[in-house]
Amino acid sequence: MLTAAPLPRWSDLATLPGKAASDETLAAPWRRSGDEALWFSRGAWALRALADGWRLANDTKPAIWLPDYFCNQSARPLRDAGYEPVFYPVQRDLTPRWKDCQALAGIQPPDIFVLVHYFGRTNPATIETAGFCRQFNALLVEDAAHVLRPVTGIGEHGAAVLYSPHKLLALPDGAILTLREALAPVVARAAANLAEARPSPRGWLLRRTLQKTPLGGPLASATRKLPAFTADPLDLSLPETPVLSDAARKLLPGEIARLDAIAETRRHHAKTLSKAVGNRAEVLTHPNEYAPYRLVMQMEDERRAAKIFDQLQKRGTLVETWPDVAPEVKRDPDRHRDALLLRRTLLFLPVHQSLDLKNLLNRLRR
């Protein structure tokens, strides 16, 4: 059957009754030399810990800049703690629109600037962003939640780098924040002040186990709801479970051992699907140097994007839109025109390592 996320191996599930590896061992693939690392259940909680750490160190709330092409739900722990993110505009190539950023900085300069490496690829504006942050003495945070592991250009300039292994690996949860040594103590203190609860993996384990059995396909077909092209998730607070679950700790070693193979499989799937898409869309994923998060398809306009989305949904391809942009972005459509255009014209297909590629290709060719 087709699944939107990778499935764990039976051999990995068999490790759940055992002991978990240390945080230091688990962090090795993502931590660069000299960095410290903190684990969380989700990247949104890592952003919250960063903001809280800055507040502890400076005794005031930071001005947190996020790109306007950003998942609103990921900002929810920040909002719930009283922070008011500033959404800076990106261009169609997903780099900051610097003229607008300079104007915004004249009103409220950033204390924390989050730059996203979208869909597994290094953001080409990383060096320029580092210079902008030096201009305003801001903390540069590289959001690499779509990145499998560090590659050239990622993690080299930020004071902090956020990865979300649970988005690319068969894990119920799991995000890691790597920090320059000087920043680590205060962020660790802030993280310790968050709730001590862990997310329960039971729902994830039940879903993934069923998906690995013959019951998975019929059950998915019977329960699947087809969202509208413009539909976004409800803007709800996240469960206060910021701590990495024991299940994720125990599943991580098996996934880490296969990172090379996972990267190659994702590249192969993306290249094969790119050919199958043909002239229906411009494919923006060219994964020669990186492991893609999704296959990214650019449509010529919103009308065609909605049409192709509906067609592919009815064929069961698990096509997606992204992200659920923030209300502040929707309220200022002129400033945030490119982010809103991208939301309305980009479509995504899965390329993960458990993908039934033949099944998906057959559905695309119908």
CATH number of the domain where residue 144 is located: 3.40.640.10
Mean pLDDT of 56-76: 98
- How many CB atoms lie under 10 A from the CB of residue 96? 22
Residue 358 domain flag: no
Q: What is residue 345's three-state secondary structure?
A: helix
Please write the tens of the pLDDT for every residue from 192-244: 999 999 999 999 999 999 999 988 878 777 778 889 999 998 888 999 999 99
Mean pLDDT of 267-277: 96
Residue 64 domain flag: yes
Q: Please count the structural domains in the chain.
A: 1
Residue 270 domain flag: no
Which residue would you say has higher pLDDT here, 234 or 292?
Answer: 292
Rounded distance, CA 321 to CA 344, Å? Answer: 8
Range of the domain at 54: 10-192
> Given a cut of 80, is residue 271 above it in pLDDT?
yes
Residue 309 domain flag: no
Residue 275 domain flag: no
147 with 123: CB under 8 angstroms? no
Mean pLDDT of 16-42: 96
Mean pLDDT rounded to a whole number for the chain: 96
Rounded distance, CA 116 to CA 123, Å? Answer: 7
Q: What's the pTM?
A: 0.97
pLDDT for res 288: 85
127 with 157: CB under 8 angstroms? yes
pLDDT for res 279: 85
Alpha helix segments (H runs only) across 216-258: 216-223, 246-257
Residue 169 domain flag: yes
pLDDT for res 225: 82
Please write the tens of the pLDDT for every residue from 97-150: 999 999 999 999 999 999 999 999 999 999 999 999 999 999 999 999 999 999
The residue type of 36 is E
Please write the tens of the pLDDT for every residue from 250-270: 999 999 999 999 999 999 999
pLDDT for res 289: 80
Residue 4 domain flag: no
CA dihedral 266, 267, 268, 273 (to 10 degrees): 90
Rounded distance, CA 263 to CA 290, Å? Answer: 7
> Given a cut of 80, is residue 315 above it in pLDDT?
yes
Alpha carbon 329 to its chain centroid, in Å, reads 19
User: What b/e sequence results for 218-257 when a residue is b if at least 16 CB atoms lie within 10 Å of its CB, and e otherwise?
Assistant: eebeeeeeeeebeebeeeeebeebbbbbebbbbbbebbbe
Please write the tens of the pLDDT for every residue from 32-55: 989 999 999 999 999 999 999 999
Residue 161 domain flag: yes
